[in-house]
């Protein structure tokens, strides 16, 4: 069982460390089977997916080339401008490669939609999506998630890479913030 450190009084465990790790082991097995005999490029989307990505690649029993991308979709406050702001780009070409893009959470689907469009333009051999979390009730852009760890309700989650104003990313579990 995860124990909550005393400075995290306002945080409830929502998905335990054990549950996360067991699900990641299944996803790693699935990816290993799907790409048997091949190499893959795993692209972690920063910052939120760093922890998920680190644990996931340890469960993939194939040659993995790890890359990170920094990306955020942005707009005028009410509506998206239709642009993806790439704050950190790939170091290597993905042309002709099997790519698995790894997200922390797919909420409206906007970030992943823009990201996929951008990556498709770079001519990978295949392009799959993987996300730790998905909020189906918030979907505005239907992007297939090929490998999904957990579906969640419309609740704001923190921990295991996900932040609240820059805090709580270090938690080994996914939590719910109860407020001050
Ligand atoms: P989308 O473009 O799918 O609407 O948004 C995805 C991004 O919104 C995620 O990468 C994440 O940064 C943020 N986000 C959405 N829901 C949550 C949540 O419940 N908790 C946290 N910490 N971030 C969220």
- The pLDDT tens digits along the chain (180 residues) read 556 567 788 899 999 999 999 999 999 999 999 999 999 999 999 999 999 999 999 999 999 999 999 987 654 444 445 567 899 999 999 999 999 999 999 999 999 999 999 999 999 999 999 999 999 998 888 999 999 999 999 999 999 999 999 999 999 999 998 877
Quote the ligand 1 centre to 103 CA distance (angstroms): 10
Q: State the pTM of this model.
A: 0.92
Q: Pick from 162, 169, 170 the residue to mutate for probing ligand 1's pocket: most ligand atoms within 8 Å of its CB.
A: 162
The predicted pLDDT at position 161 comes to 97
DSSP 135-177: -GGG-SS----SEEEEE--S--EEBTTB-BTTBSTT-SSEEEE
Gap between the Cα atoms of 30 and 54, Å rounded? 17
Q: Decide if 81 contacts 57 (C-beta within 8 A).
A: no
139 alpha-carbon distance from chain centroid: 16
Domain 11-177 has CATH 3.40.50.2020: yes
12 annotated active-site:
no
Measured N-to-C along each axis, helices 17-34 and 50-57 cross at an angle, to the nearest 10 degrees, of 60
Using DSSP's 3-state secondary structure scheme, residue 117 falls into helix
The predicted pLDDT at position 16 comes to 97
Q: Please identify which residue in the block is written with the tokens 């469009």.
A: 117
Q: Pick from 53, 81, 105 the residue to mutate for probing ligand 1's pocket: most ligand atoms within 8 Å of its CB.
A: 105
Tens of pLDDT along 55-101?
999 999 999 999 999 987 654 444 445 567 899 999 999 999 999 99
The predicted pLDDT at position 167 comes to 93
Quote the ligand 1 centre to 169 CA distance (angstroms): 13
Q: Which residues line ligand 1 (CB under 6 A)?
A: 48, 73, 104-111, 156-158, 162-163
């Amino acid at each position: 069982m995860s124990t909550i450190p005393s400075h995290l009084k306002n945080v409830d465990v929502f998905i335990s460390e054990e549950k996360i790790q067991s699900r990641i082991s299944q996803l790693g097995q699935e990816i290993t089977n799907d790409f048997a005999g091949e190499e893959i490029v795993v692209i972690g989307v920063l910052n939120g997916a760093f922890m998920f990505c680190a644990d996931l690649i340890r469960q993939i029993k194939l040659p993995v080339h790890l890359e990170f991308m920094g990306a955020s979709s942005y707009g005028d406050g009410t509506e998206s401008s239709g642009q993806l702001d790439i704050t950190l780009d790939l170091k290597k070409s993905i042309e002709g490669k099997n790519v698995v893009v790894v997200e922390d959470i797919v909420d409206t689907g906007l970030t992943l939609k823009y990201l996929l469009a951008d990556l498709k333009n770079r001519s990978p051999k295949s392009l799959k999506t993987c996300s730790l979390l998905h909020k189906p009730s918030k979907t505005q852009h239907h992007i297939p998630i090929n490998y999904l760890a957990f579906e969640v309700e419309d609740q704001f989650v923190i921990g295991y890479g996900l932040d609240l104003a820059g805090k709580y990313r270090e938690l080994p579990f996914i939590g719910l913030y109860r407020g001050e």
